[in-house]
Chains A and B, each alone.
Chain A
Amino acid sequence: MKGMLVVLRNDLGDTLHSKSLLIVVSIIGALIVAAAVGVPIALKGWLADGISWDEAKPLLELCIGLAANYVPLIVLFSCMATWATDPIAKEKAKGPIESLLATPLTARGVWIGKSLAIFLPAYIIGLMATLIVILTMNLAAILPTTGHFVLPLAAAFTSFLFLPLFMLALVMVGIIFSLITNPVIGQTIIIFVGVVLMQVVGQVGGRILWLLTSWDYALYNLAGAALLGIIAFYLSRSLTKEKIILSSKGRWA
């Protein structure tokens, strides 16, 4: 546990000092500003047409639901895809990982520390971005025109808890693959699942209007997180230092 925290602290420092953080934050920041300015203007124009609250409510909930799902998904996904494998690939190719494992650190501690070091900053950036978008939509457009604050509880749970849990489990699976096989495999898993998920949210969420704000959808996320969690746990039982060392060379390299 202590060892895991040391790895987490070190890798967090690396992430926070990396150039990719700057790039990720700038791109996400620009998108968020565009959304935070543009969406309220569009909403305001639409709400000003004298639409009744009963008519407007499901559509507003859909808008908020889309934002609550899409924003954290995009942020978590892009951060994880950027950070998840390159450092591990370097550490394996150049040798630091071997020295690290020759200390009293456990393979599990290294795995969890590295996973959290990717997940936590991604989560915090995602959380802030989501809050900014939802708050500006409400405070700048919905609240002044309708007098209501729209944030369906199920969507809030999905956005702030269940979807991040799913992404945490995903990153843990990805990192385990990066550690015991070729890092590219871990990255591919994260990107594949992330892209599929974005498609699902976009396509299905746009058609089945009630879905994204429903508890059903929140539970799907939770179930997905649990499933990936079980996979991660199962894989972690075969996580040994020997696998990490030998996968740095030979057939996985």
Chain B
Amino acid sequence: MDAIRLEAISKQLGEREVLSDVSFTVKQGDIFGYLGPNGAGKTTTIRILLGLLQPTSGKATILGDDVSRDEARRKVGFVLESDGLYDNKTAEENLWYYTRIYGMAEPAERIDRVLELVELRDRARDKVGTYSKGMRQRLALARAMTHNPELLVLDEPTAGVDPSGQMEVREVILNMAHKEGRTIFLSSHNLDEVQRICNRIALIDRGEIKLYGELEQLQRERSGNEVEIETTEAIAEPLLAELKSLSRLGLRERKGNILTFAPQEGVRIPDIVSLLVGRGVEIEGVSKKEASLEEIYSAILKEVEPS
């Protein structure tokens, strides 16, 4: 069973087609990153997933249940764009309300535990109105986890949180995924964060999915064939000139001890390495250069930019 499955979802809001033909699947155990510029349709997609908006057409399921079923969300936790906390209640009271909604047994222990997880136990009895943005976001995350959900849907969980707070939030997310085997679906503007924690991604722009798949594979596919070879010492000028003259090696640049090649068809990396070794160069390391998510992201958004 897939954790999330969207099949050709479209959504019209007013005159505007906010989502058109959006399809992707989130598998169990995934940490799925949902990327896109402002106004791309991320929040709208999440609202459809959580039964808050009805798709104009298409089919969406969450943990195997159609999203229109209210019971489908019993095992889903979420943090929406606005944290949804009650300012006039304490952190504990906010969590109590949700434990009752989910009909949990032994809520007190669980509340204690999730507050511990997000390091808010000492502020449990303070009104949420007195919390800072980062604390609110952590509490919202705690609330999303109170009922031990199988799937977490998070709309920009680290928005407005300081770097150390972001690291803590990431830590919690990774723990949920790796130690407890939960599935995470998160939308984000933070490419670095997505690159660090997600295994699969989808990129949406103006309501259409532009890119979707395994992050590593996407990076490999989009990286071309560049190779970086690090040497113990910077190579001598004559050798550099010789390498440059061998156009099939495709020497791109030398930066300090690092040589970047984009070899032509038929040239294998070991060929370059043995050539260098043959010239008495000591090799420190060889790595295929991977496109960063940032590069992929901006390349794709440029592709779709109207000319």
Contact = CB atoms under 8 A, between A and B. Distances in A.
Interface string A75-115: 00000000000000000001110111111111000000000
Nearest to A109: B70
Interface stretch (B21-29, B48-56, B274-282, B298-306): B48-56
Contacts of A14: 88
Contacts of B13: 246
Nearest to A9: B100
Contacts of A106: 70
Chain B at the A interface: SS class: loop
A245 B43 CA distance: 12
Contacts of B72: 104
A102 B101 CA distance: 11
Interface residues of A, number: 24
B83 A242 contact: no
Interface string B66-93: 0000111110001011111111100000
B74 A101 contact: no
Contacts of B83: 95, 99
A106 B53 CA distance: 13
Nearest to B85: A96
Of A101, A104, A246, most buried by chain B (CB within 10 Å of CB) is: A104
Contact of B98 (A94, A98, A103, A245): A103
B71 A98 contact: no
A2 interface: yes
Nearest to A100: B84
Nearest to B88: A14
Contact of B100 (A6, A96, A240): A6
A241 interface: yes
Nearest to A5: B100
Contact of B52 (A94, A102, A104): A102
A246 B16 CA distance: 14
Contacts of A242: 52-54
A9 B99 CA distance: 13
Contacts, number: 67
Interface residues of B, number: 29
Contacts of A95: 80-84
B86 A96 contact: yes
Interface string A113-142: 000000000000000000000000000000
A134 to B, nearest CB: 37
A3 interface: yes
Contacts of B47: 245
A158 to B, nearest CB: 37
Contacts of A20: none
B156 to A, nearest CB: 14
Given A103-B73, A245-B52, A98 B101 contact: no
Interface string B1-30: 000000000000110000000000000000
Contact of A241 (B51, B82, B85, B103): B51
Contact of A99 (B71, B78, B87, B102): B78
Nearest to B97: A10
A99 B102 CA distance: 13
Contacts of B52: 98, 101-102, 241-242, 245
Nearest to A240: B54
Interface in B76-133: 78, 80-88, 97-98, 100-103
A240 B68 CA distance: 11
Contact of A94 (B78, B87, B100, B102): B87
Contacts of B97: 6, 10
A242 B67 CA distance: 13
A120 B101 CA distance: 21
Contact of A96 (B71, B84, B102): B84
Interface of A: 2-3, 6, 9-10, 14, 94-96, 98-106, 240-242, 245-246, 250
12 contacts: A14-B88, A95-B80, A95-B83, A99-B85, A102-B51, A102-B84, A103-B73, A103-B101, A104-B74, A240-B54, A241-B52, A241-B53
Given A100-B101, A246-B13, A250-B14, 5 more contacts: A94-B82, A99-B84, A101-B51, A102-B50, A102-B52
